[in-house]
Chain A
Amino acid sequence: MTLRVRFNFSRILLYLLFLVITAIVLFPVAINVFTAFKTPMEVMTSSPLSLPDEWQLSNIVTAFDKGNMSVGFKNTIILVVISVVVNTVLGSMTAYVLHRFDFKLRSAIFALFFAAMVVPFYTTEVSRFQIIKSLDLYDTLGAPLLIYAGTDLLQIFIFLQFIQKISTQLDESAMIDGASYFKIYFRIIFPLLLPASATLAIIKAVDIMNDMYIPYLYMPSKDLHTLSTALMTFVSSRGSDWGQLAAAILIVMLPTIIIYLSMQKVIMSGIAEGAVKG
């Protein structure tokens, strides 16, 4: 009897703990949503914790318009689509070659990717900036595209795990039929890698959508703004009109939240895969 009571009591504590965590996570987001739908007058006079009297859309409309959000969406989508496709193809090709062939420079290439991972990303920008400039890529979509397209060690490791599961007998039987290595990659390996690619692609897409650093440094022009940099510009130009700022914030954070909620399983399994086996 006492055991049962204790059991229930610890369960209740557990639920309480998770409710507190849920509150901590949702509180900032909820406040932002409330503020986004309030009139300027309401933001000034009502408690910031209160719900809006009337959920009105004018802040959203103004923020979308004045915040340059349509340009932000357009550029973000261009960057995401092109870099994710190129990145996936390059990553899987690299993994294919590194797994299926033995050659002299193989370990040197692994070492190179490892070295790249150790380099502190933010500060190398000091010299990468010069390279981008000398390639005439400054203030073009080309700069972030080339930077995002490159593959990295973690990605290669995840692809390698999936290639390992594709039997080499498939390659061999294709070779008996006279298929070239190119054909084997494009007809057999790449299609079989697609599930793995989907996971990596979604994670990469979210990363790119949320990045502010590369677009901020390399694309200052207004018509090259992404969602992140459009929001930065809007905030610095609007001072403290918190209703409109909250609306702009809401517009910018919504896309990734929607992607996350609809593809949660894929995203989490991908991250778990990378963590446990990578």
Chain B
Amino acid sequence: MSYTIQKKIVIFTFLLIPISLLLLFLIYPTIRLFQFSLTDWNGMSKSFNYVGFDNFVQAFQTPEVWKALSNNLLYFIVHVIFIPLEIMIAVYLNQKLRASNFFRTIVFMPYIINGVAVAYIFTYLYNPLNGPLNELLSVVGLESLTQKWLSDTDVVNYSLIAVSLWRFSGFHVILFLAGLQSIPNDLYEAATVDGAGALHKFRHISVPGIILVIDLVLFLNIRGALQVFDIPFLMTQGGPGTASTTFTVYTLETAFKFNNYGLASALAIILMVIIIAMSIVQKQLIKVKGD
């Protein structure tokens, strides 16, 4: 068989399954999402009516949607505030510490633990009656700081965000560390010869060296914060009331609990647009900074 014909056969057979899976489970559902978003479909009946942009109008008029979005925004802001701290810890881990391998193992561990397990561990930790966290605060004399961590509407989101930080910060630290280690050592040596101080080296060598990782972590934060699901879903079901609901929790409830697929699809598309828009803004910001 000639190699030209072979080439065609290889390309076709090797790509057939991966591309089919991609089209069937990711691309096609997305297209269907656009279609559903313009209907009043309940997810079960055979027929549905096209209702134009009614679902989108309704979405923006629903207070829960705004509440959920503001909660997502809070996740995003707190995670972004933690980025400098994560970079700092990565810089310290990059130094020759006696136990740095041990600390590296520890820092990354929460990311590898089952998310359901993490959610329930913290549910117990936050228990208001005889819970470990309140107990710990009393033991060290900070009784005034004890809270109803998951049932006080002013506190609940921060309690949940803390779980998210516990789970993902270490992962970010390891990413930053990888970025730092990819910077050639002679850059630092040359700077030392030129008499540059530690801060100077950090600003002009380390930060530019890890700008791509910063970009990646920001992208992960946007996607992660806008799609937070398992932590609120498992720990509070979005409650008390709608105090800790997030966009994805609300969307999936709308679809699977209230059988309003039209509205849920519209919500999904709104989320997609927000994620894409924020990613574009971020790319521009990084570009400006990088130049």
Q: A residues touching B (Cβ–Cβ < 8 Å)?
A: 14-15, 17-18, 21-22, 24-29, 31-32, 35, 47-49, 90-91, 93-94, 96-97, 101, 103, 109, 112-113, 115-116, 118-131, 146-147, 149-151, 175, 180-182, 185, 206, 209-210, 212-213, 217, 227-228, 231-232, 235, 242, 245-246, 249, 252-253, 256-257, 259-261, 264, 267-268, 271-273, 275-276
Query: Which one of B22, B99, B135, B212 contacts A48 once the chains associate, using CB atoms below 8 Å?
Result: B135
Q: Mark B1-39, 1 if CB is under 8 A from A, else 0.
A: 101001100110011011101111111111011001000
In the assembled complex, 27 residue pairs joining A and B whose CB atoms fall closer than 8 Å, in A order, are A14-B92, A14-B97, A25-B109, A31-B124, A35-B124, A48-B132, A49-B136, A97-B15, A101-B11, A103-B11, A109-B15, A112-B19, A112-B27, A116-B26, A118-B279, A119-B30, A120-B226, A123-B271, A123-B272, A126-B33, A126-B36, A126-B255, A126-B261, A131-B29, A146-B21, A180-B6, A268-B174
Q: Is the CB of B116 within 8 A of A231?
A: yes
How many chain B residues touch A (CB < 8 A): the figure is 91
Q: How many Å lie between the Cα of A231 and that of B230 in the bound state?
A: 14
What is the distance, in angstroms, from A7's C-beta to the closest C-beta of chain B? 12
With both beta carbons as reference points, the residue of chain B lying nearest to A211 in the complex is identified as B115
* Interface positions of B from 147 to 181, Cβ below 8 Å from A: 166, 170-171, 174-175, 177-179, 181
Q: How many Å lie between the Cα of A48 and that of B127 in the bound state?
A: 10
What is the distance, in angstroms, from A70's C-beta to the closest C-beta of chain B? 17
What is the distance, in angstroms, from A144's C-beta to the closest C-beta of chain B? 11
* Interface positions of B from 104 to 163, Cβ below 8 Å from A: 104-110, 112-118, 120-122, 124-125, 127, 130-132, 135-136, 139
Given contacts A116-B26, A276-B182, contact A18 B120 (CB under 8 A): no
Query: Which one of A101, A123, A252 contacts B268 once the chains associate, using CB atoms below 8 Å?
Result: A123
B53 lies within 8 A of chain A by Cβ: no
B191 lies within 8 A of chain A by Cβ: no
With both beta carbons as reference points, the residue of chain A lying nearest to B163 in the complex is identified as A28
Q: Is the CB of B108 within 8 A of A268?
A: yes
Given contacts A32-B121, A109-B19, A122-B252, contact A21 B25 (CB under 8 A): no
B83 lies within 8 A of chain A by Cβ: no
Enumerate chain B residues within 8 angstroms of A252, measured Cβ to Cβ: 114, 116-117
B218 lies within 8 A of chain A by Cβ: no
Query: Which one of B104, B114, B136 contacts A228 once the chains associate, using CB atoms below 8 Å?
Result: B114
Given contacts A96-B14, A112-B19, contact A124 B30 (CB under 8 A): yes
Q: How many Å lie between the Cα of A179 and that of B69 in the bound state?
A: 57
Q: Is the CB of A268 within 8 A of B229?
A: no
Q: Is the CB of A90 within 8 A of B17?
A: yes
Given contacts A28-B122, A150-B25, A257-B112, contact A93 B14 (CB under 8 A): yes
B223 lies within 8 A of chain A by Cβ: yes
Q: Is the CB of A181 within 8 A of B33?
A: no
Q: How many Å lie between the Cα of A97 and that of B14 in the bound state?
A: 7
Enumerate chain B residues within 8 angstroms of A242, measured Cβ to Cβ: 124
Q: Is the CB of B103 within 8 A of A21?
A: yes
Q: Is the CB of B10 within 8 A of A127?
A: no
B234 lies within 8 A of chain A by Cβ: yes
Given contacts A116-B26, A120-B226, contact A97 B106 (CB under 8 A): no
Q: Is the CB of B272 within 8 A of A119?
A: yes
Given contacts A122-B229, A130-B32, contact A101 B10 (CB under 8 A): yes
Q: How many Å lie between the Cα of A89 and that of B84 in the bound state?
A: 39
B227 lies within 8 A of chain A by Cβ: yes
Q: Is the CB of B30 within 8 A of A49?
A: no
B89 lies within 8 A of chain A by Cβ: yes
Q: How many Å lie between the Cα of A128 and that of B271 in the bound state?
A: 16
Q: How many Å lie between the Cα of A188 and that of B255 in the bound state?
A: 48
Given contacts A122-B252, A268-B108, 18 further A-B contacts (CB under 8 A): A28-B125, A49-B135, A94-B15, A112-B27, A116-B26, A124-B26, A126-B252, A127-B33, A150-B26, A180-B6, A181-B10, A182-B10, A210-B112, A210-B116, A227-B114, A257-B109, A271-B171, A275-B178
